[in-house]
A and B are shown apart, each in its own frame.
Chain A
Amino acid sequence: MFKAIGKQIHIIWSQIVTLWLVFLHLFKKADTVEYPDVKPYMFPRWRGRIILTRDPDGEERCVACNLCAVACPVDCISLQKTEDENGRWYPEFFRINFSRCIMCGFCEEACPTHAIQLTPDFEMAEYVRQDMVWEKEHMLIQGTGKYHDYNFYKVAGKAIGGKGKGEAQNELPPTDRRSLLP
């Protein structure tokens, strides 16, 4: 019988201690933040909303090589290559179905031109699923994103408007096909 009474006393004591500890928390600094009024700090390499960037000359970086699309494990990227009058490749459309995207960042890893990048923005919820289908105009930003200096066409051998054969980095001028001289 004494055992049972002792147990009841222990329960009551434990509740008093709990109330006391909760009371003490009134005087401690809060751990949570007032989201959305207060924004959390996101690390620069956080894998959030996907953007398309421009090269240092302000031209679209994406060359529509399709590597992001093929790297995507949920196949949520589709695009179509087209070409401007000077031979520069760019996507005619570029679509990501964010309702499928798992933010794995494989597309960014696959991108040979640093065009597609993941950003620290995670606020992508929508009421309607159809609104999670983003097109190029929704993703293309005005700047270079995380990688400031890279300009793919300055490295590639293909001639485009404003850059002829032999004018890329580390290139000799075009050879003379009518000459046999060394």
Chain B
Amino acid sequence: MASITIDGKVFEVDEKNNLLQECLSHAMDLPYFCWHPSMGSVGSCRQCAVVEYANEEDQKGRLVMACMTEPREGARYSIAAAAKFRAQAIESIMINHPHDCPVCEEGGECHLQDMTVMSGHTYRRYDGKKKTHNNQYLGPFINHEMNRCITCYRCVRYYKDYAGGTDFGPQASHDNTYFGRWQEGPLESEFSGNLVEVCPTGVFTDKPFSKHYSRKWDLQSSPSICTGCSVGCNTNPGERYGTLRRIVNRFNDEVNGYFLCDKGRFGAEYVNSPERIPVSMTRDSHNSDPVQIEPALAKDALKKAAKGAVAIGSPRASMEANYALRELVGEENFYAGISANELGMLNKIIDIYQNKPVNVASVKDIEGSDAVLILGEDLTNTAARLALGVRQSAKNLGRQMGADLNFPIWHDAAIRQLAMDKLSPLYILSPHTTRLDDIAHTSHISSAENSAKIGMAIAHAIDASAPAVEGLNKEEQALALEIAETLKSAKQALIISGTSSLEPALLDAASNIATALHSGNSKANLALVCSESNSMGLALMMQGSGKSIDEAMSAGAKTAIVLENDLYRRAASAKVDAFINSLDQLVVLDHLKNRTGEQANLVLAAATFAESSGTFVNYEGRAQHYYSTFKPDSNIRSSALWLSDKHFNEITADCAAAIANCAAILELTPGENYNFAGLKVPRQHHRYSGRTSMRANINVHEPKQEQDEDGVMVYSMEGVPAIKDAAVLNSPWVPGWNSNQSIFKFQEFAGGPLKQGSKGQRLIANNSTEKTWYEAGTSDFSAEGYKVFPVYHLFGSEELSAYTPAIQEKATSAYVSLSPEDAEKLGLKASDGVQVEHNGAVPFVVRKAIQPGTVGVSVGLKGLNFQDMSAAIALDKAAEWKNPDLWRAANIIVSDKREERVD
């Protein structure tokens, strides 16, 4: 800590941070554009100028940029003395800025607006002509309006330097500087959506949001959790006039930090989908037309059906909904709605997290690791936010080099210069190339079983007491030794694997490596990725039992209740068909129409994440609560409330009491009795507009405010302001800071954790220090045909986001990937299709880096059901082939390494 004087006041500051950060931390308003807590300083915008005085006698001082200044012990600074300089700087910045605010999506939450007001530039003196720029089409997610640019370079620093994008950059020079792609086309990076929040003004705006735009102050919002994958990023959905309008990032320093992936940001509009189930319905037989049924009658019918029924839970439904279902039918009749293999893998993950000497890695831990091994997981497509985290971990070598030379860590440009292309080691073992290959030291192509073997060999090489494996070739043995050496010498090694490969042996290997790395007090980081938003929660609910969907289907019950689950995504179609035909009654609770729901005798209209509250448990066992954003139509209820007569909070409390490890889910909210001076937390901004007019076309008499199920927040603009001591931070806003940059006012220090501390609760405690091993598998794969491995797509593979129009535009129809040798063997030309055994014909892509004899089969994309595949399949050239309409080969971005691209 150092003591400095700013405008006559003495402050204790941390000299590791830059002066700008410290000024902001101490509640002083100092304008800035180019600095970002995650990206450091480059000092390009000249907005955070302050005057630094040489000594006590110095009256004149000199201008310094606060973001590039290390606070010196005893130094004297003045913010006020540089006010004129800042006003001049922003006047120059604003010279070419267009008169666009009323028709700009950023208006009202624009950092540039805030900073202009803060710097006191209120009158435009310049009356010359303004520079203009043409815009580019940047795909379905991002609008480009280049006239508004103030050349702070944040977009490039984010897109290229932070997120590793390669197709975007600065062009031209001086005041012609242009930020865009080399030619028009969709942005390739899976994290392009963050440009919307990174850009301090309206150059990059949210395209789907713009189609039904509302100002920030008009959006009703609540703290929520993304349903896209198992990472559980914190989001802030916004609602207006009964439809979900957009998702923005909600800061959580341990999970998503400042950034979301594009599936999270743009993939939630399924809430407004025409495919939603708007009312509850009944059907006489599995294929007759549905008839609407009143909610009260539907609930009665559900209760009647519950006696003796099997219940199938869901990895995408909340803990509360799954628990309410378990309560309704009894524990013995409750089955996890996932395959036996997946449930087994999830149970194994819980076992590893609980009983092995490892440190379960949050995204923050991932970013802090300096040697990474990824075992068979295509992170960018299965848990994208982790891939962004891994990208940051690769920069740790550069940071270390900087630290060795006493460089401050925030000195972004200097550290990048110093590191050049030196990266922390990243090893990837995968059956195909991944989007992280460009930063990987080695990306080894091998099947999941073989990767598991290599993993076992690595563990054995690190700790000789770990079981050894046989059957690796020389090259792979050498690789295993090399990886073992790297991991051993790393300060904080990280192993990533997961369930997406469907290969349990990979988890064994990952666990063994992490266990082997444990010595003394140090534990290796381990992240095991699951498939869906509450996969881990569902596994915890099963408490180690192996009651999977396969067992549910063979239980012989005459009635089944299916909670938010499409059975055709979990088991082979023939099996599911037989199961549904054997039933007298099929009850489905879901929010979107799917193949299972279309055969149900009773369909209950369930609420989505935006319309209900609940708890999700992410891949690291972190339970996080999401609050409903808006009240749905009276025909729609949250699944938990369909399934139970209890108050929502009682369901949570019962779940916490009944399920092992889950006690902490009660601590996620401040409880229904929470208030601050009698006030609850408002969902609406205090300047929410149109309250007395938005429903006036229906009835001029205004209805009573809706009541909330949690009892913490209210559907109102009245309540405890966020800047006061609200226990739950909704949308960040403070006077003078209307943009999302205002988040620093809610952090312990600028860039630090939130004061409210809403990080969620880790449910799985681990104090294990004992090294125990999983044995190496002995089964060698042998079957006729092409060996199948799953290929995931960030856009399209996940069930819910695939209903979103913008995601559909970036997705493609199902396909298979083949090696060039196999394509030749099958006699395939570029325009041909491939006939897949047990399935229809699909297009194919040739990928150089997959092993001959294996075939990558897309998961979840339209046109092919992965569940119908066997471990090995026969392939054939399709007769009379025409590519389907949804086929978009250009959306398959294989790797940033040019030679691996699909053209």
Contact = CB atoms under 8 A, between A and B. Distances in A.
Interface residues of A, number: 52
Given A63-B103, A130-B700, A171 B130 contact: yes
B172 A66 contact: no
A157 B99 contact: yes
B769 interface: no
A163 to B, nearest CB: 11
Given A80-B241, A157-B132, A178-B172, A75 B102 contact: no
Contacts of B692: 74-76, 97, 100
Interface in B665-704: 687-694, 696-697, 699-701
A13 to B, nearest CB: 58
A179 B176 contact: yes
Interface in B165-180: 171-174, 176, 178, 180
B217 to A, nearest CB: 6
A113 B700 contact: no
A133 B697 contact: yes
Nearest to B173: A180
A67 B217 CA distance: 11
B287 interface: no
Contact of B213 (A81, A175, A176, A178): A81
A133 B694 CA distance: 10
A16 interface: no
A176 B99 contact: no
A156 to B, nearest CB: 5
A70 B697 contact: no
B700 A157 contact: no
Nearest to B241: A80
A66 B216 CA distance: 10
A36 interface: no
Interface SS of chain B: helix, strand, loop or mixed? loop
A112 B171 contact: no
A163 B570 CA distance: 53
Interface string B83-124: 000000000000000111111100110000000000000000
Interface in A44-81: 63-67, 69-70, 72, 74-81
A113 B99 CA distance: 11
B590 interface: no
B210 interface: yes
A156 B103 contact: yes
Contacts of A129: 700-701
Contact of B699 (A64, A83, A130, A177): A130
A168 to B, nearest CB: 8
A158 interface: yes
Contacts of B693: 75-78, 95-97, 100, 133
A94 to B, nearest CB: 10
A158 B103 CA distance: 8
Contacts, number: 144
A137 to B, nearest CB: 12
B218 A165 contact: no
Nearest to A80: B241
Interface string A89-105: 10000011101100000
Contacts of A178: 171-172
A170 interface: yes
Contacts of B218: 66, 69-70
Contacts of A130: 699-700
Given A175-B176, A177-B176, A95 B101 contact: no
A156 B100 contact: yes
Contacts of A135: 697
B615 interface: no
Contacts of B100: 156-158
Contacts of B332: none
Nearest to A128: B700
A120 interface: no
Contacts of A42: none
A156 B128 CA distance: 15
B214 A66 contact: yes
A172 interface: yes
Contact of B102 (A65, A69, A159): A65
A161 interface: no
B217 A182 contact: no
Contacts of A75: 688-693
Contacts of A89: 102-103
A80 B178 CA distance: 32
B78 interface: no
Contacts of A171: 129-130, 132
Interface string B519-555: 0000000000000000000000000000000000000
B145 interface: yes
Contacts of B690: 69, 75-79
A132 interface: yes
Contacts of B647: none
Nearest to A92: B212
A4 B734 CA distance: 76
A152 interface: yes
B779 interface: no
Given A75-B692, A135-B697, A178-B172, A63 B102 contact: yes
Interface in B35-72: none
A172 B129 contact: yes
B851 interface: no
A175 B211 contact: no
A174 interface: yes
A155 B127 CA distance: 13
Nearest to B687: A70
B147 interface: yes
Interface string A107-123: 00000110000000000
User: What are the 6 tightest A-B residue pairs by CB atom distance, in nearest-first order?
Assistant: A157-B98, A78-B690, A65-B102, A69-B689, A177-B178, A75-B691
Given A97-B696, A157-B99, 20 more contacts: A66-B218, A69-B689, A75-B693, A76-B690, A80-B240, A97-B693, A97-B700, A100-B692, A130-B699, A156-B99, A157-B98, A157-B100, A157-B148, A159-B135, A172-B129, A172-B130, A172-B131, A174-B132, A175-B131, A175-B172
22 contacts: A64-B213, A65-B101, A66-B108, A67-B102, A69-B218, A75-B692, A76-B693, A77-B693, A80-B241, A95-B696, A97-B696, A129-B701, A133-B700, A157-B98, A157-B148, A168-B98, A171-B130, A172-B130, A174-B132, A175-B133, A176-B172, A177-B172
Interface of B: 98-104, 107-108, 127-135, 145, 147-148, 171-174, 176, 178, 180, 210-215, 217-218, 240-241, 687-694, 696-697, 699-701
Interface of A: 63-67, 69-70, 72, 74-83, 89, 95-97, 99-100, 112-113, 129-130, 132-133, 135, 152, 155-159, 165-166, 168, 170-180, 182
